Amino acid sequence: MFDNQEQQKFTIAVIGAGGACVAFLHHLVVSLAPSQAAALRVQVFEPRPCAGPGLAYQEDEETLLLNRVAETMSVSASDYSTFSAWLRWKSHHARELRPVSAANLSAAYVPRPVFGRFLADFFRETLDSARQKGLEIDVVPAAVQGIRRGTRYLIETPGARYEADSVVLAVGNTGARDHYQLGGHARFLDSPYPVRQRIRPLLGARRICVIGAGLSAVDVAVSLREMGYQGGIDLVSRGGSLPFVRGRQAQAHQPRYLTQAALIRLSNHGATRIGLRALGRLLRAELRTVGYDWRALFRDSADPLASLRADTGAAGEVCQWQLVLAATNAVVSTAWHALDAASQDVVLKRFARQWRARRAPMPRENALKLLQMIERGQLRLLRGAPAFDRSSADAISATTAAGTVRYDYVINATGSAQWVDTPQDSALVWQMLQDGLAVRDPRGGIRVDFGTGAVIDQHNEPDWNLRALGQITNGSYFFVSSLEMIARHARRIADDLLATLPYEGRRVIGQPTLVPVAE
Ligand SMILES: Cc1cc2nc3c(=O)[nH]c(=O)nc-3n(C[C@H](O)[C@H](O)[C@H](O)COP(=O)(O)OP(=O)(O)OC[C@H]3O[C@@H](n4cnc5c(N)ncnc54)[C@H](O)[C@@H]3O)c2cc1C
């Protein structure tokens, strides 16, 4: 596909062009020296028509909101202004963005497709910057079906093969788990996205069941309402509660106890693992600095509707515990990594769900819409695992504590699966697992080396030329469902690859010189 000169260059293949890829390329290009650029080639593989937005920020209804205010959404790990600066500049040319850019961006929850437009623009500009430094970044508009490891990597797409020296897996969010074996039924939707194509055709339904009550379920309920849906909606989930409501944006909390320095001290510079008790003490002390009792943090509400009312009422005020939790982004991966195996197990079984729910609250405007829907009887929150009956062709029935209900449609809104367990979850990662290029991490996703994101193979060896980013690394880093966290890891991988790049000719790199453990 390329002439000989191009073939000789050290080639990095990036699989997937969502937010993780944009963040990685940004950090790579910013730090790249022109002498390195001349010896390097990058190929990005992405089957979607547009590189940048990925799944979360794809073109869709404007009812889908970012779960963070505009001024905190960025592809840079160090500069949070990339999106808000773009919005202000872009709205000089794109009139339709003016109402968005005129809002107070430190308090505004912008539609996700607008962020997707930003990502697509940022991606194009990054390619331009790279070209100015002498680096060509090509986009191959195809899904990668397989990766084989020889002296170089062989990247297989339908009908073509490419070679690379280093691979960055940025395949993003995998499919949701089909917990109730409803797949294949004509009235079952395995994912709500894009809602414009998938949800809009359902407006004539009388009753819809949404499995899940997290942010994706909120997307479905709010979108149905805004599209003019008149029927009933049941959100069915084990916990029966909606996400928390985000409080008013305020100055960032400065941690005093739950700090990188404290974790390094406790773990004896990484030489020993720490127990949950020790970590809990740091979190408790940190929450005490804002007068919050840590026990309230992990308490599930017995009355979700009362909690929603209370949360929505208080959302105009600063919520101190949310600021403390937001500040943990700087240490959460290190803290997770420092925990001993038994403690990690306890966290996954008892606290992980609550932690993630509290770290990703919903915007107040969505909470208000849900509250209205509940109060006028259009939306119900049902707790417990339902028993589904799929025997009828034109409906699916579900039995919960509230009785048996016949639904015109059932929508799976449970979010990304924690593991790749079938080829449907991710054909590529499944193949890598089968071939031993990657192994399952019992904590979630695939195993990667904590410091470098290098994928660990069946022989327990980290492959320094095969790095992973995003959702599939959730077992190693615990909290990766936020672009801020992904951008931090992307910068680390970009810096690490650049530090070990050859300056002329192609060679396979060895163990990286940089093995940072701190965020
Ligand atoms: C619905 C939703 C809403 C979210 N909202 C927010 C938010 O408001 N704020 C926030 O910080 N985070 C949010 N997140 C978290 C989100 O995952 C990250 O912010 C970020 O978008 C993840 O980027 P990614 O590139 O890892 O994944 P994705 O966005 O999933 O992109 C991965 C890309 O890889 C491509 N791909 C997959 N397999 C292959 C293959 N085999 N070959 C080639 N290409 C492939 C896909 O087509 C896709 O374009 C949200 C997540 C979801 C699912």
**pLDDT number for residue 436:** 97
pTM score, whole prediction? 0.95
φ, ψ of residue 181 in degrees (nearest 5): 50, 55
Q: Identity (one letter) of the amino acid at 21?
A: C
| pLDDT given for residue 513 in this prediction | 38
Assign residue 26 a region (left: φ > 0; alpha: ψ between -120 and 50; beta: otherwise).
alpha
Query: In the predicted model, what is the mean pLDDT of residues 51-76?
Result: 96
Residue 385 lies in a domain: yes
Per-chain mean pLDDT for the chain:
93
What is the number of other CB atoms lying within 10 angstroms of the CB of residue 233?
A: 23
pLDDT tier, 5 (very low <50, low <70, confident <90, very high otherwise)? low
* 104 inside domain: no
CATH code, 139: 3.50.50.60
- The span from the CA of 68 to the CA of 194, in Å, is 20
How sure is the predictor about 354, in pLDDT bands with cuts at 50, 70 and 90? confident
Question: Both 164 and 209 in a single domain?
Answer: no
Phi, psi of 154 (to 5 degrees): -105, 120
Do 267 and 352 belong to one domain?
Answer: yes
The answer on 345 and 383 residing in a single domain is: no
pLDDT, tens only, 437-455: 999 999 999 999 999 999 9
> Is 301's pLDDT higher than 90?
no
Distance separating alpha carbons of residues 496 and 510, to the nearest angstrom: 12
Q: Minimum mean pLDDT among 350-359, 399-408, 487-496: which range?
A: 350-359
Using the mean position of ligand 1's atoms as its centre, give its distance from the Cα of residue 91 in Å: 25
Q: Is 355 in the pocket of ligand 1 (CB under 6 A)?
A: no
Domain match, 352 and 368 both: no
DSSP 190: S
Q: Are 270 and 323 found together in one domain?
A: yes
Domain boundary among 357, 378, 393: 357
Q: What is the pLDDT of residue 395?
A: 98
Kindly indicate the confidence band of residue 336, based on its pLDDT and cuts at 50, 70 and 90. very high
Express each pLDDT in 169-227 by its tens digit. Answer: 999 998 899 999 999 999 999 999 999 999 999 999 999 999 999 999 999 999 999 99
Statement to judge: residues 167 and 315 lie in one domain: no
Position 506 confidence tier, pLDDT thresholds 50, 70, 90: very low
Terminal CA-to-CA distance of the chain, rounded, Å?
A: 39
Q: 325 with 470, same domain?
A: no
Q: Are residues 35 and 171 in the same domain?
A: yes
Domain-located, residue 508: no
Verify whether ligand 1 is closer than 6 Å to residue 470 (CB atom): yes
Residue 385 CA to ligand 1 center (angstroms) comes to 28
| Residues 430/423, Cβ–Cβ less than 8 Å | yes
Q: What is the DSSP letter of 285?
A: H
The dihedral of CA 427, 337, 53, 39: what is its sign?
Answer: negative
Better-predicted residue by pLDDT, 502 or 412:
412
Segment 414-434 shows an average pLDDT of 93
Q: How far is the CA of 54 from the centre of ligand 1 (A)?
A: 5
pLDDT attached to residue 297: 84
User: What is the Å distance from ligand 1's center to 472 Cα?
Assistant: 11
Domain that holds residue 327: 260-357
Q: Residue 66 CA: which ligand 1 atom is closest? A: 8
Closest C-alpha residue for ligand 1 atom 8:
66
Residues 218 and 150 in one domain: no
Whether residues 393 and 276 share a domain: the answer is no
pLDDT digits (tens, 9 = 90+) for 368-397: 999 999 999 999 999 999 999 999 999 999
Count of structural domains within the chain: 3
Residue 505 has pLDDT above 50, yes or no: no
Q: Is 404 helix (H, G, I), strand (E, B) or coil?
A: strand
Q: Is residue 254 part of a domain?
A: no
- Which of 296-300, 425-429, 464-468 is predicted with the least confidence, judged by mean pLDDT? 296-300
Q: How large is the average pLDDT for residues 3-19?
A: 86
- With a cut of 90, say whether residue 366 has pLDDT above it: yes
**pLDDT of 97-142, one tens digit each?**
999 999 999 999 999 999 999 999 999 999 999 999 999 999 999 9
Q: Is the pLDDT of residue 4 over 80?
A: no
Same domain, 341 and 368: no
Distance CA 429, CA 169 (A): 9
Nearest to 168 by CA among 355, 342, 16: 16
511 CA distance to ligand 1 middle (Å): 29
Q: Considering only 2-16, 239-253, 415-429, which range has the smallest mean pLDDT? A: 2-16
CB 235 within 8 A of CB 213: yes
Range from 59-68, 203-212, 383-392, 507-516 carrying the lowest mean pLDDT? 507-516
Protein residue with least CA distance to atom 4, ligand 1: 56
327 and 431 in a single domain? The answer is no
Mean pLDDT of 390-409: 96
Overall average pLDDT of the 274-287 stretch: 97
